[in-house]
């Protein structure tokens, strides 16, 4: 496979150096693998820290900035960051009002963030944690006990980040993050496997003419494989799978997310089918986001995430945000 890299061993460091050069509003510690908003710590504000394996960009580093994360910790490709990174990030952004760790439900992430929380508290930093587990595809997987954390991570980081920027205390920011996760569900579909730089070849076998329904963001197996389906058929499958687990009484936020290798031409066409499927099932959509936000390297495919909202959450969604990957109201 051809890749725009130097050598696999430096791919994360090279990306961080490039991010630092492109975004002077961030402080990027390439050696220690920590990305921090340059004005941190922000006085009298709860800080949000998240992180995970690289390869899912713009998650998480692309969401650092006013209105979202205070800091992010990138691990190696598809590998959890280590506790030292998380403690360093928490110390850099803590203003004395506490730090919320946003953790996707993958075993390595959970264990390392738990250890980091203990270490940070030993240093006098108040820490709360929220686990994101929105994927309805499978209950347990190779990487998780329970549901996987996927597209709802963006919703949690945006809405909790807006609450923190508005001056909410740690307990309130944590409660909002939990409420967002509890009201969010996702399902992903792969049309091709992804390729890690270290391996240089597809991470799993997906025969020509087949797709994986319910794939994870590391290429984990989903619910089933089928012969290739139309965009309309995939949208119906994804929406029905989500609505089997979540029956929204209120309007929803909708994320139609590319997995990294799908052109926007296809994503917008798929979004049209998802909107049709939701309309036919009497689900009102309040806000929409279409694009590559929670990716899996070069995987072709998409995921759908719904979050049931109320007026408070809608106001937090519309609140200004200024990050490399998400920006409005400023």
Please give the C-alpha separations between residue 53 and each of 40, 185, 218, in angstroms, as whole numbers. Answer: 23, 21, 10
φ, ψ of residue 132 to 5 degrees: the values are -100, 125
- Of 23, 60, 218, 271, which one is the catalytic site residue? 218
CA-wise closest residue to 213 among 205, 204, 221, 202:
221
Contacts 24+ apart (CB under 8 A), 166-174: 166/316, 166/319, 167/44, 167/45, 168/46, 169/46, 169/97, 169/98, 170/46, 170/97, 170/98, 170/99, 170/100, 170/126, 170/128, 171/128, 173/46, 173/48, 173/100, 173/128, 174/100, 174/128, 174/130
Other beta carbons within 10 Å of 124 = 9
Dihedral-angle region of residue 54 (phi above 0 means left; psi in -120 to 50 means alpha; beta otherwise): beta
- Of 23, 56, 60, 271, which one is the catalytic site residue? 56
SS (H, E, C) 57-81: CCCCHHHECCCCECEEEEEEECCCC
| 60 flagged as catalytic | no
Give CA angle at 310 (304, 313), nearest 5°: 75
Active-site residues, by number, are 56, 218
């Amino acid at each position: 496979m051809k890749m725009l890299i130097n050598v696999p061993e430096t791919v994360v460091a090279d990306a961080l150096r490039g991010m630092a050069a492109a975004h002077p509003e961030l402080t990027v510690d390439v050696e220690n693998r920590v990305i921090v908003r340059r004005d941190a710590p922000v006085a009298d504000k709860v800080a949000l820290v998240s992180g995970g394996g690289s390869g899912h960009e713009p998650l998480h580093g692309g969401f650092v900035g006013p209105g979202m994360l205070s800091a992010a910790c990138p691990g190696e490709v598809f590998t959890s960051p280590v506790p030292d990174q998380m403690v360093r990030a928490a110390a850099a952004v803590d203003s004395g009002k506490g730090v919320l760790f946003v953790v996707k439900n993958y075993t390595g992430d959970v264990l390392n963030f738990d250890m980091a929380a203990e270490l940070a508290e030993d240093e006098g930093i108040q820490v709360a944690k929220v686990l994101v587990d929105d994927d309805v595809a499978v209950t347990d997987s190779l990487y998780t006990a329970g549901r996987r954390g996927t597209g709802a991570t963006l919703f949690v980081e945006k809405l909790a980040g807006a609450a923190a920027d508005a001056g909410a205390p740690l307990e309130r920011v944590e409660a909002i993050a939990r409420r967002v996760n509890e009201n969010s569900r996702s399902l992903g579909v792969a049309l091709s496997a992804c390729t890690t730089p270290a391996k240089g070849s597809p991470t799993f076998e997906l025969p020509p003419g087949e797709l994986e329904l319910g794939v994870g963001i590391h290429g984990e197996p989903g619910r089933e494989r089928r012969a290739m389906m139309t965009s309309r058929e995939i949208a119906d499958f994804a929406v029905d799978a989500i609505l089997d687990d979540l029956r929204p009484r209120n309007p929803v936020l909708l994320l139609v997310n590319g997995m990294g290798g799908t052109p926007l031409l296809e994503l917008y066409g798929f979004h049209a089918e998802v909107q049709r499927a939701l309309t036919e099932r009497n689900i009102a959509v309040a806000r929409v986001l279409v694009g590559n936000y929670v990716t899996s390297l070069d995987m072709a495919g998409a995921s759908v995430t719904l979050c049931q909202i109320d007026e408070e959450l809608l106001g937090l969604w519309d609140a200004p945000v200024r990050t490399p990957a998400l920006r409005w109201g400023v």
